[in-house]
Structure 1
Amino acid sequence: MVKFSDEVDDIENNERKPLLDTAKSKYSRKQRYIFLIFFVLVHVVVIAYFVVPWIESSSLFTKTKTLTPLSKLSSVATTNNEYYKKCAPKVTCFVSAKYRTYTGSCNNLRHPNWGAYLTPFYRFSNAEFSDGKSEFRLQADGKPLPSVRLIQLKLFHGNDVRHSDRENNELLVPWGQFLAHDISYYPDDIRSNETPDLLDHCFDKDKSTIPKICSYSVRVPDDDPLAYKQKLKMLKYTRSQSSFNSSCPLLPFTFLNRQTHYIDASNVYASDQAIAYGLRSLKNGRLLSRTLKGGEYCPQYPTPGFTEPSRGRSKYQFSTGYYESNQNMAIASTQILFMRFHNYLADELHALNPLWTDEIIYQEARRIVGAVVQVISYKDFLPIILGDFYMDHFRLNTKTVYDPSVTPAMSQEMVSGAFRTLHSIIPATFKFMDQNYSIVNEIAPSTTFNNPDPLVGYIDEVFRGFLETPGRAPQPNFNSLITNTLIPINPHKNLSMGFDLMTFDFQRGRDNGLPGYNKLRKICGLSFARKFEDLSDLIPNRAIEALKKLYSHVDDIDFMVGAMLEKPQNNSMVGPTSACIIGDAFYRARVGDRFFYDVQGQPGSFSAEQIKVLETINLGHVLCSTSNVNHIQKETFRFVDPKLMASIKYDCDSYEINLTPWKE
């Protein structure tokens, strides 16, 4: 390199001389070209020798055979009906009811409790606990499963590839979380305000005083980055509430959904009637709201129905139909957006039909909001997550024909595993953008846990940031700011804890009794692995070698661990096993929902004209009717550079919602 630089300098000096020997000049130029060619060839050889093998062996670029899971799954579980036999309440249904119940009951007139609030998650395989009741499963050799934190460090830590998804924007993240919390919620088993403090006794010298819940927390190795930086010994973990918390002592542990299982915007309106009424203004069909810094926001927590004190160290805590709406900015901002959207629709419907009562306006607006959530999820969101192939394969893009024999219940494998793999697209920071697309603030999600204060006065900037920022590319890891961080757990004592979302997700799978990855491959119709090497059809060899060092047998691999390592196929963001579980869930949520927006022949069916309007609505319409965000791309989740491609963005005049089919 030094010789090359000297020769270039000589050539440049010679070019400055007015008289040069022509032959000498040609010789110098020829020498320069030969050296440049040699220089390039050497680097090509080096790249071919060192870099290409690394790319081919990496978890991101390994070529795998394209595999197709079953398009319709069959459960091998024998416990799915236990709750309905022993604990389900008796329900009286009104067959001519036009509107959904808050609880989701009576959607299915043959099975009134299917899909309802406080009913169990469906299972493809019986819960797996080592004692058949509640204790975490063991490995094939009888030893405990490897530490989930160790798995994260050995398999996923440090693999963060900092490149963006050039096709999609960050809006996928808040929508994914909004949708997840519409269809599922099962809280931690915190029986009293003392539970977090009990975890501080996990290292007592007197072992008789160590609480039982400490056995489920995650020990931090001495060489762990969190141990080194923060001197942490443990990542605290509290188990999920089981049916025992609801006076239904089923064994093995059974987990009840505290939302309805339907895509019905129950996270906006609540799945409990008392809470739902507490969120209503009872005037002109509107939801309660308050004005903060010139904008409309959800009411302050608590409202009637909410009895526990605010857990966040913040000035504002929002009340919505979802208990943990303040958990992070993505959730809180979308909840605010849809409270505003309901009130926008209520005002428009009231203007169209001034004789309608508060109840009719509220229920019609609620009905439209639920339909819009369905339309956006199936027409805009899921095609990006699953890709067109899986959308066709799982029949997610056809007209809905209601089938009362299909349970709409979300599966435990879906909510505790497959859908959580999308945490991989959560960005390191959320950007706030002004009208000129300049970044005015940037906040890491982990720093606003249970603290929505930064949103107040900046909803426009937050959603403009979601729209105008390329998303995080799908990859087999989470960003480091949500896997190696501290969050406050007791604001009053100024205490923090280490938090690793990936470790938490892995532990949640064990807590909820998920079967191993290999068993779910088989249920999905993919090849059953007899040995670790059999996983090479979907998982890179380098990862397989690491799995062999962590687990005693291929059957021991945690479902989400295997799912995270699978290479996405068919333009999907997830691997075939996750695609199988997700595709099945959204097929059943559609076909098993009597109130799904395009189902005909039911008392609550929309008219053909109303359906046409609903199917034109996307998230751009919601943003234009609830915020000052303008100039939005038609494919709302796609990234469109606001400066280079401004011509394919549209102002809000193009996003008007025609509600005249609702005029009576």
Structure 2
Amino acid sequence: MKPQSFKLAMPLLGMLLWVLSIHAGIFSDANRQRLPFLEDFRHPAGEIIHAKRETNMEKLLGRITQKDLNNTVDFATNVIGFMERLENNLRWSDIKVNDGTPSHGMLISFGPDEEAVKRGKDGFISLQAASQLVNEYCNRIFKENLGAVSYRECAKILSRFKFHGTALDQTCKALSRPCQDEEYNSPYRSINGSCNNVEKAHIGESFTGFGRLLDADYSDGIQAQRRSVTKRPLPNSREIVNKLVKYDAVPSNKHTMALMQWSQFMEHDLSRPATAVAIHTDSPIECCSRDGQNLSPRYVHPFCLPIYVSQDKSYSKQGVHCLNFVRSIPAVRSDCSFGASDQVNQATHFLDGSQIYGSTNKKLKELRSFTGGKLATTFYEGHEYLPLSTDPTRDCQIFSKSSVCFNSGDARVNFQPQLALMHTIWYREHNRIADDLAKLNPTWDDETLFQETKRIVIAEMQKITYFEWVPAVLGNIEQTRILSHSYSKSTKATVSNSFATAAMRSIKSLSDGKPKFYDEDRNANESIFMRNYFNNPAIIKQNGVVDALIRGLTTQPSQKLDICYAEDLINKLYTNGHYGFDVLSFDIQRGRDHGLPSYNKFRALCGLKKARSFADLRDVMSLEDIVALSKVYAHPEDIDLIIGGLLEKPKKNALFGHTFSCIVADQMIRTRKGDRYFYDNKDQPKPFTEEQIGQIEKVTLARIMCDNGDDIKRMQPKVFESISSSNELIDCSSNKIPKIDLRYWSSPIQPETTLV
């Protein structure tokens, strides 16, 4: 071979190997989190590497020099550079995400912000470099007979090496940058979550990686999907759905749809993954044809992980064989090490209203009015609504620039009308408080009014989450345990991948495919099909709909958390009228993309006996569900986390079963204990006074709904629970639904001031 040909062939070969590794199914434990707070759930986790094998690997790793690391990163950069031709070919061949298609709907929900795209490029370089290091040095272990070792074990050892001193050195410096004193001592939290943690500025910051409770499980140690214990691929995610999911409505006799909606709203505050886009063009990636057909391999981007459904009866009737799924953007690991993939979280990792205010200064600037501390809104027939998108055909699945499409801190605001409603009432709450504070404090400027209002609104959200939502989903005993933890600077509030990608995604099973409208007497007078309103929120501006939806959320029973799903979510998600996606298939696929270990490993982490056979699942599952699982998976070790969690019987007085309760409880402790600006923490730069905290703790979601509907007259005090003799409808003016008294925020306090 000529030298010139050899120089060209080697990078192309490297790129081919990388593409093959990605399509095979791989990332790290830099963000590995422990469960130090939940004594009942404490359990040793992670792979144990035999001492002799580790010694042999240490000998090999001792040969790796800084020059080797530099060459690996340079190689990775070159490989990614060779993707430009492929991506240009896709563009010239018109392989793209088309407006109004299910792929467009998925892009709206999981599309990356500009900052995610920027950081993702370094993430992809770090990922390819890690793959190259594993391929080269782990293979040497086999060749030199240094002892049998799995790729996962080898990747874990290689993660001891850092990117410091390589071409990614500036990225490492950004992850370890110190905050200035004025940042740490700011009376208000930063919009991107930085400088909350006093030891490491980036912990909890937006666009950093999710954490992990267990090491990532990738078959090649870096990014390839987990495989069955039989060494074969895991069952197709859509096949799992077809064999397990039921469409029977199983309404709760305790909870209302408000529980589902607050769960989703709160999840969006803490978690927002980002799907990858083309490295060189930043264009969205389409892995199937416009009508759902398989693409020729030469047109399949290496970031694709489509779900093939050619054997599916429902989709085959519509001539659909392929569902578009694009892998999530990887994050450079928090300690800047080589190793398994972590994924970017576009939201801050704190419960800080980022779904309302955004996670960047650029987004916040879009949303503020810069007058009287208020958020920008639109008015229609005398009522206040969210600001409108400047590009509605991009941000919603609509075809007219004049159609209604809202803008908020989170792109998922338009997902369905009930979610758009929740955003609306919190925008109204912000502006209501800002107006009252302006009356109390006429000398405060716009910035002071905005920041003081924002911190009150965030405190209200935190109080509702911990005093209403947590006991509803985990039970009062677990709530007491969670509330016993106060701020600790050593605690990382980082959102765990298992919480964001499995536990909270299971909440979709609470949804009803036909949201109902109720009048003031709680009579259902209309219902809508969810399939007609994905990313199409115009109905919310119709006369009376805001109040009808509020009463619907607080009256209509939620479904139980189980394997029963609304058909609109399983077959009609983001539908274009021809076909739609399947939310659970995508959640399974995303869990594998994110390297979530199996359900069996998580149940062991949370204190249950590790299942050696399907019969061992009887401690938390019904016999019927165990039999169904055994017909889908080859072994208990293969079960996907979200599937196992959905099938567990709920704990007493709780929504979740044992394993998801464990994961959610850990996150709720972490979110509270790791947030220096949490509303009741006295160690923050500007703590609330005791009197102010007392007022915040009066707040309920019932009061928020009373105050921010168009004309809500009555509400039950506990909106997550059904109306009953112990939870009766009462007048919104009643002191049984107490109001926050903002006079405690006047400067100086003016107890005689009357607020209208």
Give your verdict on TM over 0.5. Answer: yes
Query: Match for residue 123 of structure 1?
Result: 212
Matched residue of 1:174: which SS?
helix
Query: Cα distance, 1:324 vs. partner?
Result: 1.9
CA separation in 1, counterparts of 2:671 and 2:239?
36
> Which deviates further from its counterpart, 380-389 or 335-344?
380-389
User: Is the Cα–Cα contact under 8 Å of residues 293 and 322 in structure 2 kept in the other structure?
Assistant: no
- Closer, same or farther in 2 for the Cα pair 1:473/1:543, shift >3 Å? closer
1:329 is aligned with what amino acid? P
User: Is the Cα–Cα contact under 8 Å of residues 243 and 254 in structure 1 kept in the other structure?
Assistant: yes
Query: Cα distance, 1:497 vs. partner?
Result: 3.7
Match of 1:651 among 718, 727, 732: 732
Query: Cα distance, 1:221 vs. partner?
Result: 4.9
Query: Match for residue 630 of structure 1?
Result: 713
Query: Match for residue 40 of structure 1?
Result: none
Query: Match for residue 351 of structure 2?
Result: 263
Matched residue of 2:517: which SS?
strand
- Closer, same or farther in 2 for the Cα pair 1:599/1:75, shift >3 Å? farther
Please give the per-residue CA displacement for 1:332-389, whole angstroms capped at 9, x wherever unaligned: 1111111110000000000011111111110011000100001000111111111123
User: Is the Cα–Cα contact under 8 Å of residues 571 and 579 in structure 2 kept in the other structure?
Assistant: no
Matched residue of 1:70: which SS?
helix
Q: Does 1:576 align with 2:689?
A: no
Query: Match for residue 662 of structure 1?
Result: 745
CA separation in 1, counterparts of 2:670 and 2:573?
38
Query: Match for residue 600 of structure 2?
Result: 518
CA separation in 2, counterparts of 1:514 and 1:620?
37
CA separation in 2, counterparts of 1:342 and 1:225?
45
User: Is the Cα–Cα contact under 8 Å of residues 390 and 579 in structure 1 kept in the other structure?
Assistant: no
TM-score by length of 2: 0.72
Query: Cα distance, 1:72 vs. partner?
Result: 5.3
**Pairs within 5 Å for 1:104-123:** 104-123=193-212
User: Is the Cα–Cα contact under 8 Å of residues 499 and 664 in structure 2 kept in the other structure?
Assistant: yes
Match of 1:472 among 552, 555, 559: 559
User: Is the Cα–Cα contact under 8 Å of residues 520 and 714 in structure 2 kept in the other structure?
Assistant: no
Match of 1:563 among 628, 631, 645: 645
User: Is the Cα–Cα contact under 8 Å of residues 172 and 637 in structure 1 kept in the other structure?
Assistant: yes
Matched residue of 1:356: which SS?
coil
2:265 is aligned with what amino acid? F
Match of 2:265 among 178, 200, 212: 178
> Which deviates further from its counterpart, 94-103 or 190-199?
190-199
Query: Match for residue 608 of structure 1?
Result: 690
Match of 1:640 among 723, 740, 749: 723
- Closer, same or farther in 2 for the Cα pair 1:290/1:516, shift >3 Å? same
User: Is the Cα–Cα contact under 8 Å of residues 468 and 640 in structure 1 kept in the other structure?
Assistant: yes
Matched residue of 1:610: which SS?
helix
Match of 1:320 among 408, 432, 438: 408
Q: Does 1:408 align with 2:493?
A: yes
Match of 1:387 among 454, 459, 475: 475
Match of 1:396 among 472, 482, 499: 482
Match of 1:450 among 510, 535, 538: 535
Query: Match for residue 82 of structure 2?
Result: none
Match of 1:336 among 383, 402, 424: 424
> Which deviates further from its counterpart, 87-96 or 572-581?
87-96
Query: Cα distance, 1:194 vs. partner?
Result: 5.4
Query: Match for residue 70 of structure 1?
Result: 40
Query: Match for residue 279 of structure 1?
Result: 367
**Pairs within 5 Å for 1:10-89:** 70-71=40-41, 76=46, 88=175
2:539 is aligned with what amino acid? P
Query: Match for residue 615 of structure 2?
Result: 533
User: Is the Cα–Cα contact under 8 Å of residues 69 and 576 in structure 1 kept in the other structure?
Assistant: no
- Closer, same or farther in 2 for the Cα pair 1:91/1:75, shift >3 Å? farther
Aligned residues: 579
CA separation in 1, counterparts of 2:726 and 2:653?
24
Match of 1:596 among 646, 658, 678: 678
User: Is the Cα–Cα contact under 8 Å of residues 198 and 211 in structure 1 kept in the other structure?
Assistant: no
Q: Does 1:418 align with 2:503?
A: yes
User: Is the Cα–Cα contact under 8 Å of residues 204 and 210 in structure 1 kept in the other structure?
Assistant: no
Query: Match for residue 188 of structure 1?
Result: 275
User: Is the Cα–Cα contact under 8 Å of residues 74 and 124 in structure 1 kept in the other structure?
Assistant: no
Please give the per-residue CA displacement for 1:84-113, whole angstroms capped at 9, x wherever unaligned: 967615242323211101011111111211
Query: Which consecutive unaligned segments of at least 5 residues does structure 2 have?
Result: 1-37, 48-155, 164-170, 748-756
CA separation in 2, counterparts of 1:417 and 1:212?
24
Query: Cα distance, 1:235 vs. partner?
Result: 2.6
Query: Cα distance, 1:453 vs. partner?
Result: 0.8
Query: Match for residue 427 of structure 1?
Result: 512
Please give the per-residue CA displacement for 1:620-651, whole angstroms capped at 9, x wherever unaligned: 2211221121211111211116xx89964232
CA RMSD of aligned residues (A): 2.8
CA separation in 2, counterparts of 1:380 and 1:194?
39
- Closer, same or farther in 2 for the Cα pair 1:204/1:659, shift >3 Å? closer
User: Is the Cα–Cα contact under 8 Å of residues 76 and 124 in structure 1 kept in the other structure?
Assistant: no
Query: Cα distance, 1:211 vs. partner?
Result: 4.4
Query: Match for residue 508 of structure 1?
Result: 590
User: Is the Cα–Cα contact under 8 Å of residues 235 and 632 in structure 2 kept in the other structure?
Assistant: yes
User: Is the Cα–Cα contact under 8 Å of residues 413 and 423 in structure 2 kept in the other structure?
Assistant: yes
- Closer, same or farther in 2 for the Cα pair 1:647/1:663, shift >3 Å? same
Query: Match for residue 459 of structure 1?
Result: 546
CA separation in 2, counterparts of 1:108 and 1:466?
36
CA separation in 1, counterparts of 2:441 and 2:162?
47
Query: Cα distance, 1:251 vs. partner?
Result: 4.6
2:491 is aligned with what amino acid? V
User: Is the Cα–Cα contact under 8 Å of residues 73 and 584 in structure 1 kept in the other structure?
Assistant: no
Larger Rg: 1
Query: Match for residue 7 of structure 1?
Result: none
Query: Which consecutive unaligned segments of at least 5 residues does structure 1 have?
Result: 1-67, 490-494
Query: Match for residue 349 of structure 1?
Result: 437
Query: Match for residue 62 of structure 1?
Result: none
Please give the per-residue CA displacement for 1:144-181, whole angstroms capped at 9, x wherever unaligned: 100111111112235x2x34222221111221111000
Q: What percent identity do the matched residue pairs reach?
A: 30
Query: Match for residue 225 of structure 1?
Result: 314
Matched residue of 1:477: which SS?
coil
Please give the per-residue CA displacement for 1:579-619, whole angstroms capped at 9, x wherever unaligned: 00000000010011111111113222110000000001001
1:524 is aligned with what amino acid? C
- Closer, same or farther in 2 for the Cα pair 1:388/1:194, shift >3 Å? closer
Query: Match for residue 99 of structure 1?
Result: 188
CA separation in 1, counterparts of 2:295 and 2:727?
64
> Which deviates further from its counterpart, 568-577 or 539-548?
539-548
Query: Cα distance, 1:281 vs. partner?
Result: 0.9
CA separation in 2, counterparts of 1:249 and 1:338?
40
- Closer, same or farther in 2 for the Cα pair 1:264/1:426, shift >3 Å? same
Query: Match for residue 617 of structure 1?
Result: 699
CA separation in 1, counterparts of 2:673 and 2:618?
35
User: Is the Cα–Cα contact under 8 Å of residues 255 and 512 in structure 1 kept in the other structure?
Assistant: yes
Query: Match for residue 156 of structure 1?
Result: 245
